[in-house]
Structure 1
């Protein structure tokens, strides 16, 4: 923790006469520095706007200055102008006025990539895969994704007309939707993974996240769940109080969850659980990965500190900073880091040290030599300064070059759309699997698509050829290099079979989402999810679970 030092004047009593020496770096001098620098900045700003050779947009110039100033502190201290306030509120509350459709740009075309169950878009005929051409008569061809979303969002109970191009439909279709208050579910999925293990997926800590997890766990117990998996993978965090409420589902009332410490006394607080829990005994596993940050790490770290859950997956992100928002003039706001947070064992999991930047301005991770050891309730060793370490580490499979290009170029997306219209129904998402015949059909269709890609081996070979040319070796080894190029090209032709399992999983996830929306996408990956399978295994083995949670 950074210590704030208040510099005081020194008083020296000398034999000849008392002489008092004062340091001129006290609060008054600090206020003078602030006023002086503000005056310099204002003068500079006026002079640049008046004298610069080209026309300067004063708003853009000021925004650049503010953003650069705040970026020198940390990535989480941000200026939010009036134009962005609505998006900021949406992030906090999870609510906005819209039709319940998610769009994205795929190969230059704006397409519907997901529908939210039960909202106007889904109820009134919009389909995943539809290409959006116009909104309220306004062509979106040259609009950004944000601009397109702004046209769809707006005041509730107002109509939105959307023109879309649909697969196998020769002429564009016009659809009308009524905007409504859309609530982005912080728990998009909960369900049974096995006969006695339930899973809750929490994607963000917006308002009522704790209540959503509580309701999901209660519903799963009614369905027969004897063990619970809480999936926090990719959850970037959110409201601190919702992290406390989520933890409260599994630990008793009155327990410490997180403490915050900053330079202002009012920011030094300890947050305790306030309600009666749902279940303090049910075996629990928490899934985390490198995208689990902030509030996710509070939940995972607290449950780990109390030996209440086994943590499965990868090391978490390592964000141990707390932000609050402050109102500014002209309806703008400042989101500013005010404190660091600490889990019940006393550890702060912040991984990057923003207070000690390198000479080039970059930020380094806290070295292992400076990390401190703490202990959990049962005496297990845990460490600060680098995120939450899982109790069971799971090595994730790297995505292959061919799977990556098929995904990012929208080829899997387009084939899923084709499959949806060619097949009226599929089995339940967790039972759905493409047959070998269907995969061969997909491979045949791929011959009509451009999915060229370069592997890392090809890139390394190109570097080798360049280095050989520079060092005058190319003529000596060109025959071998040409042979190697041919071998690599022949090997790439087999990639569709070599990485069949990986490609099939991604394609099945995309297809299942067409029929069962986000719930289907999640359930289709159960069998191919190594983190989930590791959690199921340890929860099914009472002896192993007990050994992990009691190991010193």
Structure 2
């Protein structure tokens, strides 16, 4: 397609948008909209036809759209045609393919995690198997993106693979039929103590409610369910309606869960539960952290506002914005923020004010002076303006950058490849498995010739101090800085000893993954999960649980409480 045809297509899209804008703003004196749209079309025409080098009008349009949305908020974006498949995966959790994560290793792409029950899994593909050929094409040198594009396709179509097995090294010819792959929203559920169930919920794609309800009903069938832990840690959210339906499992029909308010008339809506609850009186504990966001915050916040659950963990992310999609023609869309959502108590937990655009100071945190107090149904105090504060706060557990670096560079997985070759016939207990001291010593030996681009925060600070002292002519500090540098032990070998526990955990998890998929990894992690243990303790003590849900023992956030006191003092 030549540049003139491309321009006509882009200009046609812009003209359609202009016409739509004229209809939408009929009756309003919005001269600026028409003027600026015409300027945009004229600019695109001039660049497309007269710029010294040939340019793509499609690319110009995408860049212009990206520029329009960049200063609004991180959730408003233009989605061109080539991104629509990714958007479908994000909202539905489904795609057409063979069902496996992949990663690059050397010159080849390998299978990194076949999903349980997927075409790849049923074909016997395991983590570490190398992709040698795809439909007759040599895969050596292909990127992850290239391999992914060849593996994906319409459900029912076939793809022929030549795979080199990690265990044994032989090559096999396989023909896989692509299917509609659904990534589970509930990767694991089970009992973590006598009568105490646990459900990990990882996202809010289509069907999340059905999965969570099925897990809850399975726990009810398996034993006497006296309490339930819902794990929303690091759940980034998704579809709002799925959150409303999930809350309906635990509260009476007709209960308000969340309301939305926006500038457009159709942005305002109150969402209530529409079905009778499955577990109306089941004691609940909800686990949250700083990466609990969006629809996950709706579930957690609604259950807190309705005094239906005790929240345990750290303050949540604070995303109180609602996104909607609008078609723009030619299989493109804009995803934009159209409303804010409000909990049953009336609070909005949005933490960042994006209305302060560039030129007016930029986006900023909602200041403590603008934080307001609200009350739950039972009269407990809760606050807006900065995420959800748990009823029982715990300290977050961090993983060192050194351990994360080893994992990101693939060293953990490469070592486990070798480990699995030696232990191919082993069976393991997911909850108790751990490598031995001798195994870890072999990992240290494995790392001897590996380059790890890691520098501790302490060493970076010392280097900055040394540079600053030199620039400021503080020569008397050089000897002291040199002494501190000599005492600092952050070399690779020392770090392998310092962070041994974290690295061992990462190796253990990767071994368990290869035996028992993601659910095995979750089960393995539950054995020493402090927040799960705290939830079990609380659910085992009905009297303490009742006290936690009473106004007398509510634990307000200290910073927000101080801000509230300041505001009250100023008003007095």
Cα offset, 1:353, TM superposition: 1.2
Alpha-carbon separation, structure 2, partners of 1:165 and 1:452: 31
Any idea what the Cα deviations from partners look like across 1:237-266, whole Å, max 9, x if unmatched?
111111111111111111001111112222
- Structure-2 residue corresponding to 1:432: 433
Cα distance between partner residues in 2 of 1:282 and 1:106: 48
Superposed, 1:110-509 pairs within 5 Å as: 110-140=109-139, 143-167=142-166, 169-170=168-169, 172-224=171-223, 225-359=225-359, 362-423=362-423, 424-451=425-452, 453-474=454-475, 476=476, 478=478, 480-489=480-489, 493-509=493-509
Structure 1: state its 5+ residue gaps. 1-25
Deviates more, 1:268-277 or 1:193-202: 193-202
Contact preservation (8 Å) 2:372, 2:383: yes
> Could you tell me whether the CA contact under 8 Å between 1:236 and 1:295 is conserved in 2?
yes
Q: CA shift at 1:455, angstroms?
A: 1.0
1:341 aligned counterpart, secondary structure: strand
Deviations 1:19-61 (A, max 9, x none): xxxxxxx975533321121111111111122232332221111
For the residue of structure 1 that corresponds to 2:365, the secondary structure is coil
Per-residue deviation, 1:295 = 0.7
The DSSP-based 3-state class of the residue aligned with 1:489 is: coil
- Using the alignment, how far apart are the partners of 2:302 and 2:477 within structure 1? 59
Judged with a 3 Å threshold, the aligned counterparts in structure 2 of structure 1 residues 434 and 254 are, in CA distance, closer, same or farther, namely same
Q: Which range is displaced more, 46-55 or 95-104?
A: 46-55
Secondary structure of 1:532's counterpart equals helix
Summarize deviations over 1:291-310 as a string: whole Å, max 9, x none.
21111111001000011111
Residues 213, 249 of structure 1: 8 Å contact kept: no
Q: What is residue 539 of structure 1 aligned with on the other side? A: 539
Partners in 2 of 1:144 and 1:539 — Cα distance? 49
Q: Could you state the TM-score of these two structures normalised by the residue count of structure 1?
A: 0.89
1:72-83 correspondence runs (5 A)? 72-83=71-82
1:93-128 Cα distance to aligned partner (Å, 9 max, x none): 222211111113457753322111111101112111
Distance 1:347 1:142, change over 3 A: farther
Q: What's the CA shift for 1:129?
A: 1.9
Partner secondary structure for residue 214 of structure 2: helix
Distance in 2 (CA, whole Å) between partners of 1:401 and 1:237 is: 26
The CA deviation at 1:367 is 0.8
Which range is displaced more, 149-158 or 430-439?
430-439
Question: 1:139 Cα deviation (Å)?
Answer: 4.4
Q: CA deviation at 1:472?
A: 3.5
Distance 1:426 1:438, change over 3 A: farther
Q: What is the CA–CA distance in structure 1 between the aligned matches of 2:63 and 2:470, rounded to whole Å?
A: 44
Q: CA RMSD in A?
A: 2.3
Q: What is the distance in 1 between the residues matched to 2:42 and 2:448?
A: 63
Q: Residues of 1 paired with 2:370 and 2:357: CA distance? A: 16
Alpha-carbon contact 2:62-2:80 (below 8 Å) kept: no
Deviation at 1:167, TM superposition (A): 3.4
Residues 461 and 393 of structure 1, relative CA distance in 2, 3 Å threshold: same
Aligned residues: 526
Deviation at 1:144, TM superposition (A): 4.4
Residues 1:103 and 1:504: Cα distance change in structure 2 (over 3 Å): same
Distance of 2:129 and 2:394 partners within structure 1: 37
SS of corresponding position for 2:426: coil
Q: Against the structure 1 CA distance between its residues 519 and 455, is the aligned structure 2 distance closer, same or farther, given a 3 Å change threshold?
A: same
Q: 1:285 to 1:105 in 2, by over 3 A?
A: farther
The yes-or-no answer on 1:104 pairing with 2:86 is no
1-side partners of 2:383 and 2:399: how far apart?
30
Q: For residue 570 of structure 2, what is the aligned residue in structure 1?
A: none
Q: CA deviation at 1:343?
A: 0.8
Q: Match of 1:74, SS?
A: coil
Taking a change above 3 Å as real, the CA distance of residues 170 and 429 of structure 1, as seen in their structure-2 partners, is closer
Using the TM superposition, give the Cα deviation of residue 501 of structure 1 relative to its aligned residue in structure 2, in angstroms: 2.1
CA distance in 2, matches of 1:327, 1:27: 20
Aligned partners of 1:362 and 1:85: how far apart in 2?
30
Give the conservation status (yes or no) of the 8 Å contact 1:426–1:432. no
Q: Unaligned regions of 5+ residues in structure 2, if any?
A: 1-24, 553-572
- Change in Cα spacing, 1:421 to 1:301, as seen in structure 2 (3 Å) is same
